[in-house]
Amino acid sequence: MRLYRGLKSAYRPELVSVGRFSSTDFTDGSATALLYARGARGVLLVADIPASEDVATAPRVTEELWFVKSAKRFMVWGPFDPFVTTILEAKDLRACLRRSGLRDAPSAVQAQLLASVIEDEISASAALGCGRTRRPS
């Protein structure tokens, strides 16, 4: 399952609680997560969480109540850092939406474009042998 998390500043894994009862909000909508990645230093985390029956170390994921209709909210319980596929700068993704004329388009339309951009970034980083595409400082 591919999940997204928008952050206002650079991702710092050492600040994430890793206790058994700690959880982190994610969403399945890239456009919705991009809204949370405000500011010039905002980033979008992309995590590929395996199904819990596939991997013994997979974190527990629960769907939570959320009043946004364009995306679902998920809680990832426990550490999720091993599943972060890429970290993208939000300003680059917003620029991509502006260039394509989809800045004010509905979330579903934006999510389609963002999905292709994110997939291209992941493919490019895999071809280069890097673990994560761009890691903002």
Using the 8-state DSSP alphabet, how is residue 110 labeled? H
Q: Is residue 80 part of a domain?
A: yes
The predicted model gives 15-43 an average pLDDT of 87
Q: How many domains does the chain have?
A: 1
Q: Is residue 67 part of a domain?
A: yes
Q: Is residue 136 part of a domain?
A: no
Using the 8-state DSSP alphabet, how is residue 8 labeled? S
Q: Which one has a higher pLDDT value, 54 or 44?
A: 44
Q: Is residue 82 part of a domain?
A: yes
Burial class (CB in 10 A: 0-12, 13-18, 19+), 31: buried
The predicted model gives 87-94 an average pLDDT of 93
Sorting pLDDT into bands at 50, 70 and 90, what band is 3? very high
Per-residue pLDDT reduced to its tens digit, 100-111: 999 889 888 999
Taking a C-beta distance cutoff of 8 angstroms, is the pair 33, 90 a contact?
Answer: no
| Domain, as residue range, for 61 | 2-128
Say which range, 3-17, 29-43, 44-58, 78-92, has the weakest mean pLDDT: 44-58
Q: Is residue 134 part of a domain?
A: no
Q: Is residue 137 part of a domain?
A: no
Q: For the whole model, what pTM was predicted?
A: 0.82
**CA-based angle 71:75:78, to the nearest 5?**
150
Average pLDDT, the chain: 84
Q: Is residue 11 part of a domain?
A: yes
